[in-house]
Amino acid sequence: MKNKFRDNVIDGVKIGLRSFIILYGLSLLISIVLNITVIEQLKDYMQGTMSGDVGFDFSLIVRIAVFIVNISFFHSAGLMKFGFIIFIILPFISFSISILDNKDEGLGDNLIIYFVSSLIFTACIGLASFFVRGDILGVAIDFVSVRNILITFFIAFIIQMIITFSRHLDSLQGVYLCKNFIKYTAGFTLIVSFIFFVLAVTKFIHNFFLVTLMAIVVVPNLAVYLFFAMIGIPLEFSEHINGLLAVAGVNLNITSLPIYFRIILIMVLLIMVLLAILSRKTHLTYKNIAGFTGLMAVFAFFLSVVTQIDLSAMTTLFDFKIYSNSLSVLIETAIYVGGFSVALYLPMVKYNNEKIKDNEDSE
């Protein structure tokens, strides 16, 4: 028993260290590419003190790598929030590679292993953040906080559980429906968001590489915001952003959109729910619908929290905030997804009952 526990702890330490090394390696690679290409080009778009240390610098490469590591876990630096959801891919890649050699242990053993690995991983990120604090583009960045430590541990643990048990959870109808709904909705919102982004940004920026990089970072967030629009949740912007949108002739307030456009968004959401329900493996029950609705509401709430962006502390010249009401997202997702699911489920129950009755009559 003691040997088993010790082996689990050792496996956890290995996974935690390996995951951090892989994550930092990926972040360092991205940082080098950014410094070689984009950082130099930013001179054309930046003024004042923020452009003071723009240029190729090894210490800057290290700081940006640690910065990428931190924003991949949605850490905040003081009042600044960097909610760019694309970076969550990096921890998933790191842990996916790290646990490949891990044997298919039971739930209890995996809980021990992933608890230890999350502790080690969190400690590594905390130490890296502490020792590599400094300025990035003239802005002091410090990710060391109790909040960030707790978030790192929680997300690291959940990621490992998802990777390990996602295939087993497919047997649960609610989880299966949720995964398919996310897949269909993400496909639609990403395509629409990419088209919108390209049409809007290329009016002002003509550098292909910079537009491509911005698209990779920004489009996933736009896709999330579009989903919020589908459930009737408006985005909240700072006054400066509202002013820029007005100059660009862009109105992102869902409440001011034409009624026919809002109806289209609702119909698209209904179709996504329908596709998810049609993908079911067996007959659905109200418990399946409740599970599907609850999981989607929690997932949408999580997206609302982690996609909040506040860069106002970077400069006193520009107030940059983008956020949504997380509680409203939770409630509206439950109402729309749950309501549509029940509305689509009832005819299916009626059809199945009539079919059973016809079979009994024929006998």
Contacts of 265 (CB under 8 A, 6+ apart): 229, 230
Q: Is the pLDDT of residue 101 over 60?
A: yes
What pLDDT, on a 0 to 100 scale, did the predictor assign at position 50? 46
| Residue with the larger pLDDT of the pair 184 and 76 | 184
Instruction: Please state, in angstroms and rounded to a whole number, the distance separating the CA atoms of residues 19 and 90.
Output: 10
Q: What is the 3-state secondary structure (H, E, C) of 104-165?
A: CCCHHHHHHHHHHHHHHHHHHHHHHHHHCCEEECCEEECCCCHHHHHHHHHHHHHHHHHHHH
Q: What is the pTM of this model?
A: 0.83
134, β-bridge pairs: 141
pLDDT (tens digit per residue) in 46-95: 544 444 445 556 788 888 899 999 999 988 887 788 889 999 999 999 99
| Residue with the larger pLDDT of the pair 17 and 80 | 17
| Residue with the larger pLDDT of the pair 283 and 291 | 291
Residue the block writes with tokens 């931190």: 70
Q: Is the pLDDT of residue 182 over 60?
A: yes
Q: Is the pLDDT of residue 212 over 70?
A: yes
Instruction: Please state, in angstroms and rounded to a whole number, the distance separating the CA atoms of residues 61 and 49.
Output: 19
**Residue 195's pLDDT band (boundaries 50, 70, 90)?**
very high
Domain boundaries, the chain: 1-167, 170-363
pLDDT (tens digit per residue) in 244-263: 666 666 666 676 777 888 88
What pLDDT, on a 0 to 100 scale, did the predictor assign at position 328? 92
Q: Taking CA 135 as the corner, what is the angle to CA 130 and CA 137, rounded to the nearest 5 degrees?
A: 145
Q: Kindly report which listed range (51-55, 103-107, 326-330, 341-345) carries the lowest average pLDDT score.
A: 51-55
**DSSP H or E run through 310:** strand 309-310
| Angle between helix 326-362 and helix 286-306 axes, rounded to 10 deg | 160
Indicate the burial class of 357 (C-beta count within 10 angstroms; 0-12, 13-18, 19 or more). Answer: exposed
Instruction: Write the DSSP string, 29-79.
Output: HHHHHHHHTHHHHGGGT--GGGGTT-S--HHHHHHHHHHHHHHTTT-EETT
Q: Taking CA 167 as the corner, what is the angle to CA 165 and CA 168, rounded to the nearest 5 degrees?
A: 65
The phi, psi pair for 247, rounded to 5°, reads: -65, -40
- Do the Cβ atoms of 29 and 129 come closer than 8 Å? no
Q: Kindly report which listed range (36-50, 145-159, 306-320) carries the lowest average pLDDT score.
A: 36-50
What pLDDT, on a 0 to 100 scale, did the predictor assign at position 207? 76
